[in-house]
Amino acid sequence: MSASFFHIHRLARPLYALGLVFWCLVRLEVSFTLLDGAMLIAALLGGTLCYIGVFILSAGVSFFTVREMEWIYILTNASYQVTRMPPEHMPPIFKNFFTFFMPMLVVSYYPAATLNGWSEGVPTWALGWAGWLALPAGAAFLAFSLAIWRFGLKHYSSTGS
């Protein structure tokens, strides 16, 4: 039954994204090693965990609010847009939000900067290995989201309707 709701066209976006990543690496003439491949996989997994966390966080917050879609838009679509801009051009509040709360810069920009050898926008203490933070950051955000979900579930009280 669940397979009847699976639409094959939904695979197009991730397959297109993977193809685009490899095309960009070739066009930028990045010397891609096995270790770089492992970092790329870790970054993709970290990003996946981060986005799963966004939807779990929204479900957890929905126990306490009636309308949560407006701020979820910020976490999903704004985070997608913020990954297109180098961090040094961002206002500090956005840079800190998308680094320390929702780690989209950590799961997207830092791995790209590490693979390409960019030093702009990457903290000097993290040069060369910042891309490896993607998976732990995504997992930490997912853990935070699950904690919010459990808190909401524990404190939920029905309206009786």
Query: What is each CA distance from 30 to 1, 4, 36, 43, 115, in whole angstroms?
Result: 44, 41, 10, 17, 7
| 41/115: higher pLDDT | 41
pLDDT range class, residue 161, cuts 50, 70, 90 = low
Confidence check: pLDDT of 28 > 90:
no
Confidence check: pLDDT of 2 > 80:
no
For the chain, how far is it from start to end, CA to CA, in angstroms? 30
Long-range Cβ pairs for the range 60-64 (8 Å, 24+): 60/145, 60/148, 60/149, 60/150, 60/151, 60/152, 60/153, 61/148, 61/152, 62/152, 63/152, 63/153, 63/155, 63/156, 64/152, 64/155
Q: Measured between alpha carbons, how far is 69 from 62 in angstroms, rounded to an integer?
A: 9
Query: What is each CA distance from 92 to 98, 100, 111, 134, 142, in whole angstroms?
Result: 10, 12, 20, 20, 24
- Which whole number is the average pLDDT over 1-30? 78
Half-sphere exposure of 130 (CA within 13 A, CB side): 26
Q: What is the pLDDT of residue 143?
A: 97
Confidence check: pLDDT of 34 > 70:
yes
Q: If you ran DSSP here, which 8-state letter would residue 3 be given?
A: G
Residue-wise pLDDT tens digits, 65-74: 776 567 777 7
Confidence check: pLDDT of 41 > 60:
yes
- Which whole number is the average pLDDT over 125-137? 84
| 154/83: higher pLDDT | 154
Q: What is the pLDDT of residue 95?
A: 85
